[in-house]
Each structure stands twice: as structure tokens, then as C-alpha cells.
Structure 1
Amino acid sequence: MAIENVLLAVGPTDDERIEPLAGTTVDIAGPTGATVTLAHVFTQEEYDDVRDGIGVEDAADVTSDEVARRHATIRDLRDRMRDAGVEHEVAGRVGEHGESIVALADEVDADLAIVGGRKRSPTGKAVFGSTAQTVLLSAPCPVTFVRSDH
């Protein structure tokens, strides 16, 4: 299977995982010439906080894609993709993280989705749920899980 479209999905805690996420994405997309969609998924509360933090007063003035473009995590990832010569786009979504990532993978016709996370105990998964678990079980394509604690 040729990899033409890669979805790299990040959320509010992925700022600490930029290096491993970017490295994995470049290693996969660079040699194949794939286009990477850098996606930031926000809950409504996260979105409102980020939008306020970047100085947008009227929600009608900006789209979720634009808020994602302005977010520091996406800016850092864009710089790394640009430096590596990897073609990329940016998408922003507001909603539940796992479901939004699965929908985006379908929307961009991803051949591969990349998500980050950390090792969790079985109790932690049961109590808090897991975005990565939702994506791993429901994505319409293979998923690469990148741990920052390894």
C-alpha cells in the first residue's frame, strides 16, 4: 500500500511530544512524498481558551483551521515539516478528540494516522478513557501511536 496522505493529529497535551511526533511523521512521509495533514483537535472549552489567547474577539472572524494554524504546537510542527521538505496542510476541529480524529482521517482520505500519547495504567484507561484507544479501534486506516515516554 502506498502512503499518499498522512494525518498527524495533536491535542492540548502534545506540545511535549513534538520531537517524536515530527520525527516519526517525517520518517514516514518524507521518503514516500506523502502529504501530511497537521490537525489540532480542540474541545469547545480548549478552543475558546486558545481563540481568546490569540486575540480573536469575534468567533465569526476566524475558523477552527485558522486557530489551529496559529497554535504553537502546529506552528512548531509546520516548521519541522517545512525544514524536512514535507508537503503539509493544517486542519482544526472542535469536538471530542477521538471521534474528531477518526472523522478527519476519513475526511482527508488518510492512508495512515499518527497520534501521540503516554503509557497509561489499565485503571487510568478505564477511568479517563483514551483518545488513542478510540482512534486505534475506529480509524478507517492504520494508526501509528508515538509515545513520548519511551
Structure 2
Amino acid sequence: MTTILVSIDTDVTRAKEQVESITSLPLQTDETDLVLYHVFRADGEGADARNLKSVSVALDSLEEAGFDVEIRQSSGDAVRNILDEAEALDADVISLAGRKRSPTGKALFGSVAQDVILRSDRTVLLDTTDN
């Protein structure tokens, strides 16, 4: 069994491209567990990841491709929570959607994707867009 933690942000275009990256892999749907995971920046009390358009688009597309998908969520520090969730799931792969940024933009604003890649001992599938 392969477990992929699919960290979804709020951007629908990035979610669609992330799903395309996953569905293009040679995965057997019955031997792959997919967990869609969203980290809310603020306290997520009352928030539901299922209500995010990006999550619902990803969920629909992945289920249509034949995958069983679970949705999980948390709030707080995205990097720490993604790494902790990957550990809890014993995920084989972490899937992230990144944005292309200049070196200055990365230095000023940081990059969740970059920090996850640098701090994780797991395989990270990174889909980047121009957004």
C-alpha cells in the first residue's frame, strides 16, 4: 500500500495541476491511499476543508480517477503540521503545490514547499505553477 499526503492550499488552479501530477503517476488505485490535507492559517474551529473549492475539486477529480480519498485538516504552522501529518500517516510521498517565486520573494515571504522539502526525509512531489 502506498500513502500519499496531498497538501492542498486554497488555489483551485494549483489543486487541479497537483491532481494531474498524481493521476499521471503509474499508481494502482486500489493500492494507493490518498489523504487530502489542508492547514488553515488561523484557528480552524468551525472551518471545514470540504467547503474549500480547491479541496472539493481535488476530491472530485481523484475519486473520478478511482482513488479512495480521505480529507484531513489542521490549523497553525503549515510546515510543522504537514511534516507531523506525514509522520502520523507514515506517508510514502508528500504532494505539494508550489508557486514560482523570485529568490527575493522566497527570502522575504518564505516558502512552505521549500521548507517541507528541506526538512522532510520523505519523497516530495512538487507541482509548480506561475501563480
Alignment TM-score > 0.5, same fold: yes
Partner-residue secondary structure (3-state), 1:44: coil
2:20 equivalent in structure 1: 23
Identify the match of residue 112 of structure 2 among 131, 136, 142: 131
Partner-residue secondary structure (3-state), 2:130: coil
Q: Highest CA radius of gyration, 1 or 2?
A: 1
1:35 equivalent in structure 2: 33
Q: Which has the larger share of helix?
A: 1
Partner AA of 1:126 in structure 2: A
Per-residue displacement from partner, 1:73-101 (whole Å, max 9, x unpaired)? 11111100111001110001101111111
Tell me whether 1:101 sits opposite 2:99 in the alignment: no
CA distance in 2 between counterparts of 1:92 and 1:125 reads: 25
Q: How far did residue 129 of structure 1 move? A: 0.7
CA contact (8 A) 2:16 2:57 kept: no
Partner-residue secondary structure (3-state), 2:28: helix
Partner-residue secondary structure (3-state), 2:101: coil
Gap runs ≥5 in structure 1: 48-58
Q: How far did residue 18 of structure 1 move? A: 2.1
Tell me whether 1:110 sits opposite 2:91 in the alignment: yes
How many matched pairs? 130
19-28 or 88-97, which moves further after superposition? 19-28
Gap runs ≥5 in structure 2: none
Change (3 A) 1:5 1:41: same
Identify the match of residue 53 of structure 2 among 65, 72, 83: 72
Identity among equivalent pairs (%): 30
